[in-house]
Structure 1
C-alpha cells in the first residue's frame, strides 16, 4: 500500500527500512544487539543475521522486548528527523507494521490499516517470504491481534482481492488524506 501512496505523491517513511538501517554494520544499534545477544546474531560478513535473531526472539517475549528496546528508539529518532525534513504541505505517511503494538496510534492524524484474514496473511508469508507455516503463525501471534489493529484504524483497506482492487481503495483513502 505504501508504494501506491508514494506513487500518488505521499512522502513515505518506512519503519521497516529504518529498522534495517539502524542496525547496519558499523552502527551503534548493531553493536548494542551484539552486546545483548552475542556474536551469533552476525553473519560471517558482519551483518545482522535476521533469521538467527528471529528464531531467537519470536518464541521468547523477554528477548523480543529487549530487541524492540534496542531497535525501536533508534527508528523513532530517524522518523522524527525525516518528519522535520518534510516539505511544507506534504502528506507524510508512516509505514509502521507494529503501530498498534507501539501505543502511538493516537499520535497520528489518521491510521490506515491494511486488513486481511489470518489465513490469507499466513498463505502470503509462506508464498512470498518462503517461511514455514509455523514461522508465519508464530510471527502473527507475536503481533497485535487483528481486532486490536482494526480498533486503531481511521481507515481500513481490505486486501483480499486483486492488486487493482487494493489500488482503488488506496486511491479513495489518499483522496481523504490529501483533503485533510
Structure 2
C-alpha cells in the first residue's frame, strides 16, 4: 500500500484536488473533516475542549469561531488544543487505514503536515500550490474571512515555497480544473496506480 499525503496552505485548492483523487478510486482521509466530526454534536473532543477552553462549546459541539479567537495568536493555547486534537485524529486515521487495508493506495489530506512533522509517516508527499494572488483572492472570498484572520492563519503555516521544495509532487492549481486533473492523472501514472485503483 502506498500512503500519499496531500498538503498545501489555505486557499490552494487542496479539497478540490483531494476530490479528484477520490473520484479515481483512491480512498481519502480528510483530517479537517475528522476534526469537524470529533468537534461536532456528541463528538469525542467536545467535552475535553470545554474543560480546557470553557465557553467554547454548546449544543452544536465546538464553536469553532470562539475557539479560534481563543487560540490563534497564542502559541501556548494553540499547543494545548493540539495536544487534544492530534491524538484523536491519529486514532481516526488508524481506523481508516485498517478499514482500507486491501487498497493499493490511500490519500491523506493533512493541512499542517510539515508544520507538525508528519511527513515521515507517508511514502510520498503531494503539495497543492497556487500563486499568492490567487490564494489571497480565494481565501478572502470565504464568508467571515478578514485580512487579519488570513494573516494569522498564514503565520501558522510554512511558506508555500518551502512546501514545494519538500514535496515529491507539486500540483499547480493556478490554472484550469482540467489542468489540475491532468496533473493528478500524471501522478497516479507515475506511481503505477491505474484509474480506478
TM-score normalised over the length of structure 2: 0.83
2: CA distance between counterparts of 1:177 and 1:77?
27
Which residue in the other structure is 1:59 paired with? Answer: 73
Preserved contact between residue 42 and residue 61 of structure 2 (Cα < 8 Å) = no
TM-score normalised over the length of structure 1: 0.90
Deviates more, 1:76-85 or 1:19-28: 19-28
Which residue in the other structure is 2:20 paired with? Answer: 4
Aligned-CA RMSD value: 1.8
1: CA distance between counterparts of 2:142 and 2:154?
15
Which residue in the other structure is 2:137 paired with? Answer: 123
Looking at secondary structure, tell me which structure has more strand per residue: 2
Q: Which gives a bigger RCO, structure 1 or 2 (Cα 8 Å, sep 6+)? A: 2
Which residue in the other structure is 2:62 paired with? Answer: 48
Q: 1:128 to 1:172 in 2, by over 3 A?
A: farther
Looking at secondary structure, tell me which structure has more helix per residue: 1
2: CA distance between counterparts of 1:160 and 1:93?
22
Which residue in the other structure is 2:10 paired with? Answer: none
Which residue in the other structure is 1:27 paired with? Answer: 43
- Can you list the C-alpha shifts for 1:42-62, whole angstroms capped at 9, x where unaligned? 24x342111111111111111
2: CA distance between counterparts of 1:99 and 1:165?
25
Deviates more, 1:154-163 or 1:22-31: 22-31
- The answer to whether structure 1 residue 170 and structure 2 residue 184 are counterparts is yes
1:103-114 equivalence runs, <5 A: 103-114=117-128
2: CA distance between counterparts of 1:123 and 1:64?
27
